C-alpha cells in the first residue's frame, strides 16, 4: 500500500508525555505528518492526564534549559506547542486495542473509530503506584510534600534539612532513600513487614548512612497536613496500634504500572513487570514497524530527559524503517 493512500497514516504516536511529544516533533520535522493520540483524563484509581506524570508535578528543576525551574504542566505545554508548530495532528482519545497481525496496522480508539497506520510509536508511559490513603494524592497533586520520585523532587529546597519518610521495601525504595540522605536531616523507611525485599547490598548502602532509620511492621494510615504535609498517621501491622510522626516529606516507592493494557493480545513482547521489551540498543519492539519510548519501556531511569531522548530515538528509527519500506 503506498504512502499516497491518505486513509493510512505513516506514523501514529500513542501517548503524550516527554517521549510522545519528542517523537512527534522529530517525526513532524521529517515530514511524516504524524498523528498523536494523546489519551483522555482518568481519575481511577489515581489521576492520569494527557502529558504524563509531569502533569501532576509542580516544580521541575532538573530539565535542561530551564535554569530557574519550570512546572510540569508548563513544560508539557511547551513540548505540545513545539510539536503542533511543525504540523503534528492531535486526537483527544485513547487507543483501546491494536491489531499488529496485518498491515497496515489497525488501532481502535475510545471514540469507536479505527485508525490504519504503517508504523506506531508507543509512548504511553507508566503511572506511580500510590498507597491509597487519605490526603495522599491531594498533597501530591498540589506540591504539598508528597512525591513518587525522590530523584525528581528530593533535592528541592523545601525538603532539605527535614525528616523525610520513604514507603517501600524493594531496591527502588532503598535507592531513593539513600539518595535522600544527602539532603534530609533523617530518612525513615516505613515498611509493613519485618524484612525488606531489597538486595542486601542496597540495604547496607542505606543502613550505613548516619541519618538512616527503618520502621518495621508499620504502614501509613493517612497523610497529615493542609497546604503541606506535617506528619503521618501510622499503624502497627502486628498490633494495630496507631501513632503519629512528624515529617517534612513523604516519598512513595512501591513501584510503577506501565500503561500497556491496550496491547493485550497484540503480540507485543512485554517483560515480567509488563513493560514493553525493546531490541538491544534500539527502540524497536519484536514487531517490525512498532517502536516504543519512555517509561512504558524504561523501568530504570524514569526521567523526563531520558524519556525525551528515547522519543527522539524512536522517531529517527521509525523514519528510517519507513524509508526502507519505500514509504515517504
Which domains are seen in the chain, by residue range?
8-127+256-324 (3.50.50.60), 130-252 (3.50.50.60)
Question: Rounded to an integer, what distance in angstroms lies between the CA atom of residue 48 and that of residue 53?
Answer: 7
Q: For 87, list phi and psi in degrees, rounded to 5.
A: 100, 10
pLDDT at site 45:
60
The β-bridge relationship of strands 126-128 and 114-122 is unpaired
How many CB atoms sit inside 10 A of residue 222's CB? 16
pLDDT at site 131:
96
Q: Which one is catalytic: 36, 98, 153, 298?
A: 153
Question: Rounded to an integer, what distance in angstroms lies between the CA atom of residue 37 and that of residue 241?
Answer: 48
Q: Lowest-pLDDT range, 41-45, 82-86, 90-94, 187-191? A: 41-45
Over range 315-319, report the average pLDDT.
98
Question: Rounded to an integer, what distance in angstroms lies between the CA atom of residue 64 and that of residue 58?
Answer: 16
pLDDT at site 50:
84
Q: For cell 509531569, what's the residue?
A: 54
Q: Would you call 272 a catalytic residue per the annotation?
A: no
pLDDT at site 1:
38
Q: Which of 149, 152, 207 is nearest to 174 (CA)?
A: 207
Confidence bin at 224 (pLDDT 50/70/90): very high
Q: Which three cell numbers stand for residue 93?
A: 482519545
Q: Which three cell numbers stand for residue 260?
A: 500497556
Which of residues 313 and 172 earns the better pLDDT score? 313
Q: Distance of CA 304 to CAs 88, 102, 192, 257, 320, Å?
A: 20, 33, 31, 17, 25
Question: Rounded to an integer, what distance in angstroms lies between the CA atom of residue 287 and that of residue 264?
Answer: 14
Q: Lowest-pLDDT range, 55-64, 110-119, 184-193? A: 55-64
pLDDT at site 121:
98
Q: Which three cell numbers stand for residue 227?
A: 497546604
Question: Rounded to an integer, what distance in angstroms lies between the CA atom of residue 299 and that of residue 249?
Answer: 24
Q: For cell 511492621, what's the residue?
A: 217
Q: How far out from the chain centre does Cα 26 lie?
A: 21
Q: What is the pLDDT of residues 236-267, one digit of tens each?
A: 999 999 999 999 999 999 999 999 999 999 99
Q: Distance of CA 66 to CAs 60, 72, 78, 80, Å?
A: 9, 12, 12, 17
User: What is the average pLDDT value for the chain, to the nearest integer?
Assistant: 94
Task: Judge contact between 279 and 261, C-beta under 8 A.
Answer: no
pLDDT at site 3:
40
Which of residues 257 and 55 earns the better pLDDT score? 257
Q: Would you call 153 a catalytic residue per the annotation?
A: yes
pLDDT at site 49:
76
pLDDT at site 24:
98
Over range 271-297, report the average pLDDT.
97
Q: Which three cell numbers stand for residue 45?
A: 484509581
Q: Which one is catalytic: 152, 295, 298, 318?
A: 152
Task: Judge contact between 201 and 176, C-beta under 8 A.
Answer: no
In the predicted structure, residue 2 carries a pLDDT above the cut 50: no
In the predicted structure, residue 53 carries a pLDDT above the cut 90: no
In the predicted structure, residue 229 carries a pLDDT above the cut 50: yes
Question: Rounded to an integer, what distance in angstroms lies between the CA atom of residue 86 and that of residue 73?
Answer: 20
In the predicted structure, residue 235 carries a pLDDT above the cut 80: yes
Confidence bin at 48 (pLDDT 50/70/90): confident
Query: Beta strands of 168-255 (E only): which ranges?
Result: 186-190, 212-215, 218-225, 229-236, 242-246, 249-252
Q: Which of 327, 262, 322, 296 is nearest to 99 (CA)?
A: 262
Q: Would you call 36 a catalytic residue per the annotation?
A: no
Q: Which one is catalytic: 99, 149, 236, 312?
A: 149
* Burial grade of 197 (CB within 10 A; 0-12, 13-18, 19 or more): middle
Amino acid at each position: 500500500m503506498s504512502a499516497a493512500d491518505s486513509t493510512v497514516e505513516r506514523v501514529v504516536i500513542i501517548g503524550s508525555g516527554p517521549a510522545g511529544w519528542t517523537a512527534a516533533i522529530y517525526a513532524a520535522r521529517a515530514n511524516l505528518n504524524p498523528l498523536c493520540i494523546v489519551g483522555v483524563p482518568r481519575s481511577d484509581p489515581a489521576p492520569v492526564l494527557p502529558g504524563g506524570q509531569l502533569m501532576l508535578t509542580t516544580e521541575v528543576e532538573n530539565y535542561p534549559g530551564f535554569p530557574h525551574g519550570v512546572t510540569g504542566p508548563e513544560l508539557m505545554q511547551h513540548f505540545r506547542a513545539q510539536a503542533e508548530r511543525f504540523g503534528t495532528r492531535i486526537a483527544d482519545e485513547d487507543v483501546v486495542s491494536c491489531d499488529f497481525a496485518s498491515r497496515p496496522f489497525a488501532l481502535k480508539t475510545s471514540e469507536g473509530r479505527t485508525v490504519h497506520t504503517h508504523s506506531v510509536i508507543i509512548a504511553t508511559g507508566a503511572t506511580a503506584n500510590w498507597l491509597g490513603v487519605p490526603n495522599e494524592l491531594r498533597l501530591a497533586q498540589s506540591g504539598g510534600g508528597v512525591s513518587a520520585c525522590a530523584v525528581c523532587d528530593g533535592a528541592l529546597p523545601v525538603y532539605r534539612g527535614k525528616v523525610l519518610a520513604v514507603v517501600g521495601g524493594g531496591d527502588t525504595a532503598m535507592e531513593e532513600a539513600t539518595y535522600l540522605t544527602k539532603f534530609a536531616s533523617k530518612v525513615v523507611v516505613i515498611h509493613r513487614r519485618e524484612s525488606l525485599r531489597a538486595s542486601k547490598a542496597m540495604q547496607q548502602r542505606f543502613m550505613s548512612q548516619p541519618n538512616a532509620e527503618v520502621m518495621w511492621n508499620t504502614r501509613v494510615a493517612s497523610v497529615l497536613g493542609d497546604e503541606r504535609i506535617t506528619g503521618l498517621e501510622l499503624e502497627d501491622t502486628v498490633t494495630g496500634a496507631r501513632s503519629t510522626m512528624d515529617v517534612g516529606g513523604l516519598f512513595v516507592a512501591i513501584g510503577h504500572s506501565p500503561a500497556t493494557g491496550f496491547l493485550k493480545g497484540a503480540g507485543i513482547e512485554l517483560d515480567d513487570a509488563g513493560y514493553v521489551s525493546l531490541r538491544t540498543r534500539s527502540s524497536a519492539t519484536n514487531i517490525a514497524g512498532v517502536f516504543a519510548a519512555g517509561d512504558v519501556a524504561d523501568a530504570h531511569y524514569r526521567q523526563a530527559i531520558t524519556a525525551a531522548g528515547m522519543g527522539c530515538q524512536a522517531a529517527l528509527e521509525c523514519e528510517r524503517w519507513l524509508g526502507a519500506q519505500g514509504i515517504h
